[in-house]
């Protein structure tokens, strides 16, 4: 979503949907068990305890289990060789950098 820095990913986004005018959770999944329709409409999350440990974040497509999405995953590094992780990288680059920075393996 477009939540501002410091907003809890387990809370609500600071705006409502421009389609159905209902709030939505800051973290969303493309598919999974969090798909809910109540009385023919999307669930109004302001009426549920979205901070509960067992709450399932909203999803757009109903599936029993969420699948891995195609979105970018942030990787952060601090310390020696941290400069090797910056910007966007292919996923096969990350284990190579980890091995190189740890001085293990063929490198």
pLDDT of the residue at 67: 64
68 labelled ligand-binding: yes
Q: What is the pLDDT of residue 93?
A: 92
Successive 10-residue mean pLDDT values, the chain, 107 residues:
74 84 82 84 87 85 70 83 89 91 86
* pTM of structure: 0.52
- Tell me the C-alpha distance between 8 and 72, whole Å: 19
* CA–CA gap between residue 36 and residue 38 (Å, rounded): 7
Instruction: Note whether 65 and 43 are within 8 A (CB).
Output: no
The alpha carbon of 90 is separated from its chain's Cα centroid by a whole number of angstroms, namely 18
DSSP single-letter state for residue 5: T
Q: Which residues pair with 61 in a beta bridge?
A: 31
DSSP 6-24: T--TTSEEEEE-TTT--EE
Confidence at residue 96, expressed as pLDDT on a 0 to 100 scale: 92
């Amino acid at each position: 979503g477009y939540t501002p820095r410091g907003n809890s990913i387990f809370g609500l986004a600071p705006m409502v949907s421009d389609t159905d005018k209902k709030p939505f959770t800051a973290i969303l999944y493309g598919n999974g068990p969090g798909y809910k329709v109540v009385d023919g409409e999307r669930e109004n999350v302001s009426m549920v305890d979205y901070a509960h440990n067992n709450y399932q974040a909203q999803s757009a497509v109903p599936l029993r289990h969420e699948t891995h999405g195609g979105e970018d995953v942030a990787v952060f590094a601090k310390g020696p060789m941290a400069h090797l992780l910056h910007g966007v990288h292919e996923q096969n680059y990350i284990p190579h950098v980890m091995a190189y920075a740890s001085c293990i393996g063929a490198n």
